Structure 1
């Protein structure tokens, strides 16, 4: 049986077909059909099956990732949503964190939290933090609530009642009553979406889930039916933001977990490659047609987080977006891709993105009606893209249209010819991406200089050396099939599900019987989800506690034994917390009580084992062939660059920049201050030449 992976991006849809041993049989990059993304996915799947000589009946595993959920939230294309909170808490969204994200900005733009106050409703009833019912749910008020929801025009409802994570009975009963009166409503419950304390984050996450749930449920149902009609018999698994996979049913119920699912696949690929090569400190660089994503990987594991923000008003300022509390691979993503549109602002500065030309009409060079200058148009004008081989040769590149767009959109305003306008665009977009990487590293307390960059995506290898130079990264690895890297990463991901529960307790007063019963419930829930996608695999689990000194506002993640806790574990937990606290803050606080707010459990199937990259100690000069005129990014002058076909290169081949290594779905640009060689596994290594020796 073969395995199929489909990653639908904003500009291109990537498709990969592999055999049971993980060997890539065929790949494809097709333009994303924005009106109906399933059409582009079907085209890609049919193409790889035809190229490999397989048919639909031979597909035993299908993994899918999509940007649809992310784009719907960013572009605000979801359902009209209302909220229902406990009486007295109508203004949770208005109050937020009770602070301004930029204290002295008099023109501060508050984040758009989707639901205005006019669609925020309440109902009487109250549950304590312990789970005790203090006041019963006012079921008689349901008729009034239904009327208010109907009059507001809402078709989706986010229910977030106080302390429902401790006792969900009121939320469950309210959903039952609302659906009895309005069966057409789509309802998300906070205890199912994000069963954690902190009502603002929990409400925002539930709103986001309800907002995209109708769209994603319809899309996933149509996607499954379309592929079923073609003859697909195996279940479709969805990539999640945490780097695991889940079933279509779970994805339709909790679509918020699909946000950033495509980039997560890229991080999984980079982590696997890092493990294969024994590289501990890695920077993953994924540049596609719409965005660029950077992720830090330490000891073979991508950096993770329990919270991120959607649609920030200020790109690098926390608090300027809508908080979402789900398990996620932590990365920084900016609007810098091949389709990012360039313009000159009123101060005469070149600006690139975040607006994108997408796949239709796309960059002017695509010849599909686009007229605004993009990053891809700049790369074409700089000579870095071979027109006849772009996108597997299926998409004709119009060099003249690209140059015209550059002159019209940027050149005229600054008095520059097409090539110099393209050079300016390239400098700006590469600095934007490097600045994002530097910012991400500083926030994480990490250093980029000692890291290896793993570059992939349709534009990643093309811009890798230019970004690395600015980020002070000296070594770059470009894996095989980099143009469809995220889709390749899907094939290495396990089926997994993470669940979190809030159960407050002081460490010294921990009720172990109650806690172990809580973990038993969590294991049952998570295993049911994972077994649906991996019915025969052995499963592993990981338990964590989120601990802090009493009175603090933020927790530290501490690993727990993968078994029922016993009294003898308490001293070990205290020691583990103080060790981690000391590592992060250089000291412990003596005499302070330790409290635990949240408990987490992750159940995972077996991921394909990472192999060992074949060794190749030989080095020999690669045979040169054709040459191409490019505008050198180091000297700023036109010069000849060697052009190599990646398929013709052999392990041990070395070459100096400037050079272009061309393959069907991308091009690796070797800048003049880098040299390249192929290792035993066919990966391209780019190493920066020390200044003065190039």
Structure 2
């Protein structure tokens, strides 16, 4: 049974709110006190039972704030449970019920490879093996007509076979069900009524859209992670209740909004990119408060680095991305390398380069960094918890950037000698380099990998990173921000308050958001405005009902209607926002104009061809009065504390280390200071190298300027 919220959420509350972001290395917790103060905690992630770190971190912030557990009114949660299930292939044993003749849609895919001449590339194994992909007799035509009725006895026979094979979850994906979902609904009812042990996902409930492969892949991913996500959320709810927290739980969705625990338990595919989305949402709020509208979002944690862009104050969104190992890019140019998820998501590129990424030298003498990570257990070599291989954190320790006694506000003891030994033994000696030069090499390769991810969402999108401001956060982001900015030609960097736990803070700034879609394929010239307005009305009703179920009244709800358009004959679309007025002929003409403009901006030209309307989309948002604002944060002073003094740090290969001032973040004010400088706080370390300057704005954000 899916977990449910304990109670609806009011639009205004004086209760405490908690944001929680589970990363590969640390679990970050922020408690927003009813009086506005913020309390932070970083706890090592517990990969086998992620909820343990969540509970431990919540206990810590409750103790810091002096609040009782029953003072918590809401928990917003970003989780990697769904994404880890896909990466580790630890999801459910999953089957597919398909129309006869369409059993191998998952295998055929789009007949693409991510790199044409890579002979070592292997196609990802389908999450539903062929033996569990069964066919049944039924057929719906493209216009929604029933060509062949569903054979219910074949559905039952297939279900009996799958139960005997130990299948846990079934994805129902019939051809053209986006035009008429009757057969999928009938099959779903049969399975739920007669085979209750099977968890069922029908494609019409997840993605009622044309494109057979994309719809099947998305539905299979949802079925694959469904039992894992349900078990995790149910257990988390029990664990929180055990310590006295009975507040509603919201899950961060991939689109940058939050959804209730009930929705996340039914459609977890919408929360696969849960964690990274929180940071981008927070960066958009931060940009609005600092008057910086065009931002590069750079989030470097312990395991991966993520990049996205914000233009005009709005995060870049995509309706499709591929989830895979290595660099994960929702690019229109790079397809075929992973599992397709055709769901609304913030356009994020991810690369396996974090503080815990391991440096190796291959048989040919080539130095590489990541994607393998030391994670939270055992962690970098300097943690002395069993790992002896060098990581990016160890390289930063060798270079003098990190506190040589302890990290995370003194809670995590470190040993610089262990970092020195790991870098020297595994990189320096094999390559004939000094330990310092080896550490510079590790750091530089990590920086180049991260710059590559940023270029994937800027240069590949026709955006010039030199015209934008880099917002750096995550536990390791501020340590690398200036060097990455130099590689991109960017001259301005913002390090926000509570940068090391910023994604958790971004979750507290999010609105509730649900997305709905209806296929309405027709030429724009032939579209019937009344028919489209009827479809839009159905979508608005769905959105209102979803938010009402989570406690939002009509006054706190807004709706954003969008349309997917393309030129006739194309297979991919651009999503264009519709106005608030009713759909009429003038609105459709304005839609055409907006599409042509967006097409020119994206591709550099616009064809003189008929325009086709493919889908209507609706984003329904529930707004809160108490969401976190970034223009007047009251962070607990302990989170800004750090050591004060001086230590040797190396800023250039071949140059001797220099005595570098070390300051606590709380000491940085509006007076501009020139690098080199190291700034420490509880949650991160900010490195200001030579030829860079830093000052704090009125809200406490650090503004770094790079000299030419």
Cα distance in 1, alignment partners of residues 557 and 42 from structure 2: 34
Cα displacement string for residues 318-344 of structure 1 (whole angstroms, at most 9, x for unaligned residues):
321121101000011101111111110
The counterpart of 1:161, out of the listed 174, 182, 189, is: 174
Structure 2: gaps spanning 5 or more residues: 1-14, 634-642
The counterpart of 2:525, out of the listed 477, 492, 508, is: 508
Cα distance in 2, alignment partners of residues 485 and 104 from structure 1: 40
What is the Cα deviation at residue 286 of structure 1? 0.5
Query: Secondary structure at 1:449's aligned position in 2?
Result: helix
Query: Secondary structure at 1:392's aligned position in 2?
Result: coil
Cα distance in 1, alignment partners of residues 419 and 599 from structure 2: 54
In structure 2, the CA distance between the partners of 1:347 and 1:245, relative to structure 1 (3 Å rule), is same
Query: Secondary structure at 2:580's aligned position in 1?
Result: coil
In structure 2, the CA distance between the partners of 1:180 and 1:60, relative to structure 1 (3 Å rule), is closer
What is the Cα deviation at residue 69 of structure 1? 1.0
What is the Cα deviation at residue 296 of structure 1? 0.8
Matched, 1:643 2:656: no
Aligned partner of 1:267 in structure 2 is 280
Query: Secondary structure at 1:297's aligned position in 2?
Result: strand
What is the Cα deviation at residue 636 of structure 1? 3.8
Aligned partner of 1:197 in structure 2 is 210
In structure 2, the CA distance between the partners of 1:572 and 1:300, relative to structure 1 (3 Å rule), is closer
Matched, 1:679 2:697: yes
What is the Cα deviation at residue 28 of structure 1? 0.3
Query: Secondary structure at 2:41's aligned position in 1?
Result: strand
Query: Secondary structure at 1:653's aligned position in 2?
Result: coil
In structure 2, the CA distance between the partners of 1:45 and 1:324, relative to structure 1 (3 Å rule), is same
What is the Cα deviation at residue 141 of structure 1? 1.1
Aligned partner of 2:71 in structure 1 is 58
Matched, 1:11 2:28: no
What is the Cα deviation at residue 101 of structure 1? 3.8
CA contact (8 A) 1:146 1:181 kept: no
Cα distance in 2, alignment partners of residues 145 and 77 from structure 1: 24
User: 1:327-366 to 2 correspondence within 5 Å?
Assistant: 327-366=344-383
Aligned partner of 1:621 in structure 2 is none
Aligned partner of 2:688 in structure 1 is 670
Query: Secondary structure at 2:205's aligned position in 1?
Result: helix
User: 1:231-380 to 2 correspondence within 5 Å?
Assistant: 231-311=244-324, 317-380=334-397
Higher deviation after alignment, 252-261 or 365-374: 365-374
Cα distance in 2, alignment partners of residues 315 and 605 from structure 1: 30
In structure 2, the CA distance between the partners of 1:35 and 1:253, relative to structure 1 (3 Å rule), is same
Matched, 1:569 2:587: yes
What is the Cα deviation at residue 94 of structure 1? 2.1
What is the Cα deviation at residue 562 of structure 1? 2.5
Aligned partner of 2:3 in structure 1 is none
Cα distance in 2, alignment partners of residues 182 and 346 from structure 1: 54
Cα displacement string for residues 220-244 of structure 1 (whole angstroms, at most 9, x for unaligned residues):
0000111112111321111100000
CA contact (8 A) 2:140 2:176 kept: yes
Cα distance in 2, alignment partners of residues 409 and 309 from structure 1: 34
Matched, 1:421 2:421: no
Matched, 1:398 2:398: no
In structure 2, the CA distance between the partners of 1:365 and 1:104, relative to structure 1 (3 Å rule), is closer
Aligned partner of 2:516 in structure 1 is 499
Aligned partner of 2:239 in structure 1 is 226
Cα distance in 1, alignment partners of residues 225 and 500 from structure 2: 29
What is the Cα deviation at residue 121 of structure 1? 1.1
Count of equivalent residues: 678
Larger RCO (CA under 8 A, 6+ residues apart): 2
Aligned partner of 2:4 in structure 1 is none
What is the Cα deviation at residue 20 of structure 1? 4.6
CA contact (8 A) 2:254 2:271 kept: yes
In structure 2, the CA distance between the partners of 1:393 and 1:313, relative to structure 1 (3 Å rule), is closer
CA contact (8 A) 2:258 2:513 kept: yes
Cα distance in 2, alignment partners of residues 491 and 477 from structure 1: 20
Cα distance in 2, alignment partners of residues 534 and 238 from structure 1: 15
Aligned partner of 1:619 in structure 2 is none
In structure 2, the CA distance between the partners of 1:455 and 1:586, relative to structure 1 (3 Å rule), is closer
Cα distance in 1, alignment partners of residues 674 and 382 from structure 2: 29
Cα distance in 2, alignment partners of residues 356 and 313 from structure 1: 12
Cα displacement string for residues 424-454 of structure 1 (whole angstroms, at most 9, x for unaligned residues):
1111111111122123312111011121111
Structure 1: gaps spanning 5 or more residues: 615-623
Higher deviation after alignment, 519-528 or 509-518: 509-518
Cα displacement string for residues 123-175 of structure 1 (whole angstroms, at most 9, x for unaligned residues):
11111222222211011212331243235442211111112122222112112
Cα distance in 2, alignment partners of residues 584 and 340 from structure 1: 34
Aligned partner of 1:545 in structure 2 is 563
Query: Secondary structure at 1:462's aligned position in 2?
Result: helix
What is the Cα deviation at residue 184 of structure 1? 1.0
Cα displacement string for residues 276-319 of structure 1 (whole angstroms, at most 9, x for unaligned residues):
11112211111001110111111111111000001157766432
Query: Secondary structure at 2:458's aligned position in 1?
Result: helix
Matched, 1:453 2:452: no
CA contact (8 A) 1:237 1:533 kept: no
In structure 2, the CA distance between the partners of 1:248 and 1:609, relative to structure 1 (3 Å rule), is closer
CA contact (8 A) 1:111 1:312 kept: no
The counterpart of 1:206, out of the listed 219, 226, 229, is: 219
In structure 2, the CA distance between the partners of 1:313 and 1:560, relative to structure 1 (3 Å rule), is same
In structure 2, the CA distance between the partners of 1:585 and 1:418, relative to structure 1 (3 Å rule), is closer
Cα distance in 1, alignment partners of residues 493 and 539 from structure 2: 41
Query: Secondary structure at 2:412's aligned position in 1?
Result: coil
TM-score (norm 2): 0.92
